[in-house]
Structure 1
Amino acid sequence: MPTPSVTVRDYQPADEPSWLRCRALSFLGSAYFDDVKPRRTRENQIELVAVLRAASAGADDVVGILDVEIDGDLATIDTLAVHPDHQGLGIASALLEEALRCLPQAVTTLDAWTRDDEPALAWYRSRGFEESDHYLHVYKTSDTPDEGWSAPEGLSAPVLAFAHGSIEDEAAMRERFERVHVCRRFARSI
């Protein structure tokens, strides 16, 4: 089957519905499966989309997204996602290459934080990123005992919660909580 023609360009407000679908569907098969957003909530300095022209509608269909925040000499990938129907076609790499061209000269490091999804970890490593800092993403679910959890007066202990934890406490957190992820920083010099 031939590879569809995909164009990388700047995000436009009209892309939002397709952007949201792409992000939700790509995250669904990852450790970020519940990081669903009903609308774009941040503005980033670099906002790119990979689009596939939908022949029947005459509109662009977002099949990949890459958002980058810039703070001085550090640029951080906020979101990188490729629609599951289009993964493995080089779309994430095309988005990364365009983002690298868009970075201001003052940027010396590009980094990203991601969880323990092997395909994502392998992709970052193959693109010259090196893994460094680690911490935990810990989830309390309704099945987790309430011991140690509190809430403002008049409310029960949290039914669901998301917290950061120290990597040194990983064994204890995994013993207590069903869902624990290692969040990893990947960085590359520019």
Structure 2
Amino acid sequence: MMIRPYEHEDEKSWLRCRVLALLDTAYYDNVLNAKKQYDKPSIELVAAQGDEIIGLIDLELDGQPGEVCSDPQRRGAMIRNLAVHPDHRRKGIGRLLLVEALERARAAGMQYLEAWTRDDQWVRDWYMGTGFKQSDSYLQVYVEGDENLKGMIDSKVPHLRPVSVFAHYTGSDKAYIVSKFSRVHETSRFYLDLAELK
């Protein structure tokens, strides 16, 4: 197994690895049919075993503070994708990808890493175990047609009726939202200060 930069020829195997890695997480339906190209500079690494991609990490970098990440005072790198093929978990591949990516981010002048993740406790534990700290959170809410969208969310376009909605809830009554809708995820921000690492 080797950690190396992503190459265009990796795309099909990259997509397969990502899909399989997300199947048993709260992101199970976040399927891509093409790898995203980033607007800002990026660090895109893979863990390859022969021609097969078994792990991946993508970071998008701030050009100026706050362009990609949350801190308006410091330049950060946003983890856009981080996944390990389920057949290769618990072998330290995610940690190896992270270490290589953070060294490259530091060399590019980034001061911290930022990641957002949903409420899979094992994923949150992994971030905390690698030195990240949790800061804030909000709710991601999936509203389906059988949850009575009528009157709650209306369209201004004649004859266009929402049957499902993906929404962000940033209010204070999280318990109400969780009780009202069947699919709600608490999505939390984690950060890792690169100056604190040796």
> Which TM-score applies when normalising by structure 1?
0.89
1:124 and 2:119 aligned: no
Q: CA deviation at 1:28?
A: 1.0
Q: Do structure 1's residue 68 and structure 2's residue 59 form an aligned pair?
A: yes
Would you say the 8 A contact 1:137–1:181 is kept in 2? yes
1:94 alignment counterpart: 96
* 1:150 positional shift: 1.4
Give the distance between the partners of 1:139 and 1:189, measured in 2 at CA: 32
What is the alpha-carbon root mean square deviation over aligned residues?
1.3
- Give how far 1:105 is off: 4.8
Give the Å deviation of 1:187: 0.5
Pair 90,132 (structure 1): closer, same or farther in 2 beyond 3 Å: same
Partner amino acid for 2:49? Answer: L
Q: Is the 8 A contact 1:137 1:163 kept in 2?
A: yes
- Alignment map for 1:5-84 (pairs within 5 Å): 6-43=1-38, 45-53=42-50, 60-71=51-62, 72=64, 73-84=75-86
TM-score normalised by the chain length of structure 2: 0.86
Equivalent position SS for 2:30: coil
Supply the distance in 1 between the matched residues of 2:84 and 2:171 (Cα, whole angstroms): 29
The 3 A distance-change label for structure 1 pair 140 and 74 is same
- Tell me if structure 2 keeps the 8 A contact 1:48–1:65: yes
- What are the Cα deviations for residues 103-141 of structure 1, in whole angstroms up to 9, with x where unaligned? 135211111000110111010001110000111100012
Q: Which amino acid counterpart does residue 34 of structure 1 have in structure 2?
A: D
Question: Deviations along 1:5-48, whole A, 9 cap, x unmatched?
Answer: x1110000010001111111111110011110111123251001
Residue type matched to 1:65 in 2?
L
Look up the match of 2:163: 159
Aligned residues: 179
Runs of 4+ in 1 over 6 A off after TM superposition: none
**Sequence identity percentage:** 41
Paired residues of 1:134 and 1:167 also in contact (CA < 8 A)? no
Note the residue ranges of structure 1 that are not aligned, 5 or more in a row.
1-5, 54-59
Q: How many Å separate the matches in 2 of 1:76 and 1:45?
A: 9
Structure 2 segments unaligned to the other structure (5+ residues): 65-74
2:178 aligned residue:
174
